[in-house]
Structure 1
C-alpha cells in the first residue's frame, strides 16, 4: 500500500527532474518521465510524436485486447479535455475493470493524476480508499504489461510538469481540497491523511502530521464507517512509529491497571497541616503565665517513607494543649490502600516543645546554674521531656497522575486527616507537668509512589 503511494509521489516529483532516479522505475514508469528530446519543440511536434507512438502501439496490438484499451484511453483523454467529470469517472472504472495480473490498462498513478488535474476531490477520495482497501487482494505480476506512450501519457505529463517538487503533494492541493464545497469535513480530513501517505517514512514531519490528523479524525468522527480502518490500517503504523505518542497512549490505556498494581507498595509522602485542635488533660499549670506567653507554631508537617506496608515518619505534631507541639519519629502500618483512600495508623516517640516569650525583664536559673537575665520580648524554646503518640492518618487521594515520564510511578495529591492522642511529660526550667492530649489536624498532602 505504502509503496504504491510512494511511487505516485516519486512520479510527480520526477516529472520536472526525469533523470534523477530513473533507475528506480520499471519501463512503464520511465516512459511517463521522458522529456521531449528537443526542449524547444513546438506543441504540434509534440502532439505528432505522441500520435505516432499511439498509432505504432495500435499496429503492434491490433486485433488484441490492448487495442480496446487504447481506444478507452483515447476516450478518457477526450473526456478530460471536455471537463466531463461523469465520463472521466466512467472511463477510469472501465479501464480499471479490464486490469488483470498480467495487463494494466490504466495505472494507479495515471488515474490519480487525472483526478488531481481535474480537481475531482470526492472521486479521488473514493478511488484512494478503494485502492488502499483492495491492495492486498490485487495481484500484479512484475512482468505485467502497461498501456503507455500514447496521447494520455503525454497529456498527464504536460499537465503535472508545473508541480512544485519541493512541497508535499498535500501542500500543493490542500487549499483546493479545503475550498471544495461538495465534500463534508470528514471526507476532506480523510483525503488529506491518504495523500500524506505519499510522503510518509522519509519525512518525520509528515509522519507527525499523519498522527495529528488521524487523531483529530478519530476524535471528531469516531462513528464514521472508515474510522476503525483509519485507526488500524492507515494511521496505525504511524502511531506505532511515534514512540513518544505510543508510550503516552499506552500509559493512558493502562493507567487504572497500573495504579492498582501500586497499592501497598510504598513511596514518599509529605503532609502539611493547616487546621488543628484538640483537648488537654492535666496540663493547666504547665508554665508560669505571669512571666511568659506561649507562641503557637505556624505550621505542622509530616514526612514519611513507606516500604510495602511499613512506614517511617518524622513530624512536627500538633497537640490539644495550646502552644504545645511535638517533634516525633513514627512507625506505622498501612491497613488499607485503594484508588482514593489510604489508612495508616502509627505509634510515635518524640519530644514535646513549647516556645515561650518573656512578658517582662526577669532573672531565671536552672538548678545548680547561675541566674540568667531575660529581657522582655525575648523568646526561647523549651523542650525537656518526652511524648508518646498513638495516631492514624486518613488520606483521600485525588489528582493521581504519572510521575514525569514514568509508566509505573505516580504522584497523588491528597486531603489528609490526622487523629490521635499523646501522653507527654515536661521537665524544664519553666515547663513542668504531664498530661494527655487528644488531637486532630487537617491539611494537604503529596505522595510519590
Structure 2
C-alpha cells in the first residue's frame, strides 16, 4: 500500500495536480512516468511506476507482460526480466503450459509502448545478436544467460499461427517463421538441455521444440540435395489413360471364348501418404457364347453382333516403395464386369459381380518438375505397368431363359495394362 501511495504522488508530480483524477488518467500518468524515468535512467521511479500498474491490473491498468520484461531489461534487472520473458515464450513453445495469470490489458501504441519497442522493428538476427551480447556481458545468472540466448533465438524461428472458423472458434499451431538463426538456436538449446536438464524449460525444449526445429532443418537440407525427395510417400492426384491385354478363364471358359477388341482403360487416383484410392473403367474384351445344349458345341461368332465387356471398380493401394524414378504399389479392390448379350435365344446378358481384385502397379516417373519449396505442388508424368487378377461368378441377368435355368460360372480375369499418367503431388 505504501508503494502505491508513493507511486501516486510520483505520478501527480509528473502530470500536475488534478482534483479527483479518474483511474484511466492515473494509469496514463503512470505509463508516462515510466517512460520518462526510463529515459532519465531513474530506475527507482521506474520500479514504482511498474509496481503501481501491476497492483491495479484488476482495475484495468494497461501493462503487458512483454512491456514489463522490456522495461526490466532496460533497467538492468536481467534475472527478473528473463524470468518473465521465459514464461511468456513458454506459452508459445510448450503445448502443455496453460498458466493461470492475472489478465493484463494490452495497451494501445502509446508513447511508452513505442519507446520500449523502438529497437525491435524490424526484429531480426542483428537485433537478437545485440541483445544476446548485452545479456552475456551482464551480471545475470549463467543459467539465465543460456536460457535467454536459447529462447530469443527461438523467437526468431518458432511462431504461432491461428486458424479461425466462421463461428469464431479456432486453434493455434506452431510454424517455422525463419531459419537464419536455426543453427544458433539448436546449438544453444542442446547446450542448455545438457547443463540444466533438471529445469522445466529444458524438458519442453528437449521434448518439443528441438525435435520440431531439427526435423524442419533436416527436411530443408534434404530439399537442397534433392528437391523432390520429400515428395516420396506423400499425397497427390493422378489420371491414367492406356491400353491392356487379358483373357478370361475358369468355369466360364466352358461356355465362352474371348478375344481382344480395341482395349481402353482409364483410372483416377487420389493418394494420401502411402494409401491410394483409385476408380477405373476398362473396355475391350469380346466375349462369344457357345451353345452348350447342342451335341456339337458351336459358337455364335457373327462379327456384326460382337460387343465388348465393360469393367469398372475401385481399388485401395499401398505404396511399398517410392523413389525418384520408381514406385511399386500393390492393391486390392472390388469391381463388376458386364458381358453384353449376343442376341441369341439361349443366353441373356451375363455379369460378373462382385469381382474381387488383387494386383500391383509399377510406376516409372520419367519426368517431374522441382517444387519451389517444401510443400509446393510438383507435376510428374508416369508410365504405369499394371497387373491384376479378378475373381468372380458370372451370372445371367435373367433368372431363366425359355423356361430353362441360367447357370452360374466361376470366372477369372487375368490382365496386363500399360498407361500414361499425369500426377499432381
Shorter-chain TM-score above 0.5: no
**Higher RCO by CA contacts (8 Å cutoff, separation 6 or greater):** 1
Higher strand proportion (structure 1 or 2): 2
Normalization by structure 1: what TM-score? 0.34
Normalization by structure 2: what TM-score? 0.36
* Structure with larger Rg: 1
